[in-house]
């Protein structure tokens, strides 16, 4: 499916303000608002706990053991972007360290999401440059083969188009297609608004069984209580 050796310089980015708004909502709420789709595979983990970010995707396609295109991607970053790196086949090598992070940060990148390994995680943590990856590895990479920048990629099982909105936190990474961002944001906010009241009730000991009116459907489904 992949076009190799190309860099698309002009991409249509999702609305900046709407994209920013995703971070506070978090990956779980956004994923639910999308109709429970859009989540990358759960092997994608943050290198440190607590980061919660969103940004517009600059996508990169990389070959196993080769990080050349990350340098090419750096030039395409605009403030508010988040780099999403996919691979042509599985690899856990450390494609990204503190030098590239310094460069990405200087260009305005919010984070890196990469379906491979990264290194210098102690320094990245000190820099507070968040990364979601499938592995941590000191193994370096070469610069020999062309991939592409800003083509549609499959990263950790999820299709990402350049310009899509990405939200990432301790629960994982979710991709919101550009043309579904507004409706997703509305749905996510509605969901969020709803949760405060529920939390108060549950904290007082009200059961979800009653709050969500589950007793009748459970009975219909045949649930039996035995004393």
**Of 194-213, which residues contact a copy of itself (CB under 8 A)?**
195, 198-199, 202-209, 212
Q: Residue 17 or 222: which CB sits closer to a copy of itself? A: 222
Applying CB under 8 A, which of residues 170, 187, 189, 192 lies at the interface with a copy of itself?
170
User: Smallest distance, Å, CB 209 to a copy of itself?
Assistant: 5
The secondary structure element, H or E, covering residue 148 is strand 148-149
Place of tokens 């629960």: 171
Straight-line distance from the first to the last Cα atom of the chain, in angstroms, rounded to the nearest whole number: 59
Residues numbered 109 to 138 that lie near a copy of itself (CB under 8 A) are: 117, 119-122, 125, 135-138
19 contacts: CB under 8 Å, gap ≥ 6: 13, 54, 55, 56, 80, 165, 181
- Binding residue for a copy of itself, selected from 12, 24, 41, 183, defined by CB under 8 A: 41
Q: Which stretch binds a copy of itself (CB under 8 A): 12-20, 181-189, 218-226?
A: 218-226
Using CB under 8 A as the binding rule, the residues of this chain from 54 to 83 that contact a copy of itself are: 63-66, 68, 71-72, 74-75
Give Cα separations from 46 to 53, 80, 98 (angstroms): 11, 19, 16
Under 8 Å between Cβ of 125 and 47: yes
């Amino acid at each position: 499916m992949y076009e190799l050796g190309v860099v698309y310089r002009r991409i249509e980015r999702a609305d900046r303000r709407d994209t920013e708004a995703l971070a506070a909502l978090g990956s779980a709420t956004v994923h639910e608002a999308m109709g429970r789709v859009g989540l990358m595979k759960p092997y994608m983990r943050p290198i440190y706990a607590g980061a919660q970010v969103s940004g517009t995707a600059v996508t990169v396609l990389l070959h196993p053991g080769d990080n050349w295109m990350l340098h090419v991607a750096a030039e395409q970053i605009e403030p508010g972007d988040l780099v999403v790196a996919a691979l042509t086949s599985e690899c856990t090598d450390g494609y990204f360290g503190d030098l590239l992070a310094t460069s990405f940060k200087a260009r305005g990148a919010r984070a890196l999401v990469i379906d491979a390994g990264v290194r210098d995680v102690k320094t990245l943590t000190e820099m507070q440059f968040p990364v979601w990856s499938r592995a941590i590895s000191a193994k370096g990479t070469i610069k020999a083969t062309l991939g592409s920048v800003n083509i549609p990629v499959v990263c950790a099982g999820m299709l990402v188009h350049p310009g899509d909105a990405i939200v990432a936190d301790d629960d994982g990474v979710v991709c919101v297609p550009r043309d579904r961002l507004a409706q997703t944001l509305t749905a996510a906010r509605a969901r969020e608004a709803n949760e405060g009241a529920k939390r108060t009730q549950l904290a007082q000991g009200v059961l979800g069984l009653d709050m969500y009116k589950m007793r009748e459907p459970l009975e219909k489904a045949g649930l039996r209580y035995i004393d």
